[in-house]
Amino acid sequence: MTVEAILFYVFGILAVVSALGMVLNIRNTVASAMSLVVTMVSLGAIYLLLEAYLVAVIQIMVYGGAIVVLFLFVVMLLNLSTDEFPPGKQRVAKLAVVIVGVAILAQVLVALGQAPLLVAQPEAVPEGFGGYRQLGLSLYTDYVLLVEMVSLLLLAAIVGALILAKRKID
């Protein structure tokens, strides 16, 4: 096995185990959030192994860093304990989660069965493919309208959040 393969299996197993740790750890919400961080960072490491550097950095910076820190902030602020999640009321939710999970798994398995796992040598990508220059260029030339639309949507969301959070608007 090459070094890349070993690293892939290490991070892959880490990602799966910590994802399970996040879902199954119902006692301790902070530990569960930290498991999510480990999942995100391991995914970032797998992207690194795929030489998708920008995606890896964004994965770690945005998902691993910013978003889960916000989760953690809220979780710590609320300081939830097990009493606030009485086991009886979640049966429907749990059932729904299991059904969705099985459906996704079935779909993945069907897709894997149809497509050959090892494609012949893929075509070489052009120099700098997927780097920040190419991403920036295509975002701000070809897709500039979409970017602007998304930014408007985000602005509306920020204003909405402000109005919801501020009890008294002066």
Partner 1 sequence: MLIEATVKVLFILVVMVVGIAPVITWIERKQSALMQDRIGANRADVGGITVLGLLHPAADVIKLMTKEDVVPEGANRVMHLLSPLIVAVPAISAFAVIPYGGVYRFGDTTLNLVGADIDWGLLYIFAIGSIAAYGTVIAGWSSNNNWSMLGGLRASAQLISYEVTMGLTVVGVFMVFETLRLSDMALAQDTTFRLFGFLDRFFGLDWRWIDQVRVPAWGIFYQPLGFLMFLTAIMAENKRPPFDIPEGESEIIAGYHLEYSGMRFGLFFMSEFIEIIIIAALTATIFLGGWAVPYLSTDTIIGGISRFFDVGFATCLCILIHFSTFMLKVFAMIWVQMLLRWSLPRFRYDQVMSLCWKILLPLSIANIFVTGLVLLWVKG
* Residues forming the site for partner 1 (CB under 8 A): 28, 30-31, 34, 37, 41, 44, 53-54, 57, 60-61, 64-66, 69-70, 72-73, 76-77, 131-132
First to last CA, the chain: 65
d(CA 42, CA 120): 27
Q: Which residue type, as a one-letter code, is found at position 145?
A: L
Cβ nearer to partner 1, comparing 15 with 64 = 64
Smallest distance from the beta carbon of 40 to partner 1, in angstroms? 10
Cβ nearer to partner 1, comparing 76 with 105 = 76
Residue 28 · residue 1 · CB < 8 Å: no
Smallest distance from the beta carbon of 141 to partner 1, in angstroms? 14
Smallest distance from the beta carbon of 86 to partner 1, in angstroms? 24
Cβ nearer to partner 1, comparing 101 with 160 = 160
Cβ nearer to partner 1, comparing 10 with 102 = 10
How many CA atoms, within 13 angstroms, populate the side-chain half-sphere of residue 74? 6
Cβ nearer to partner 1, comparing 69 with 95 = 69
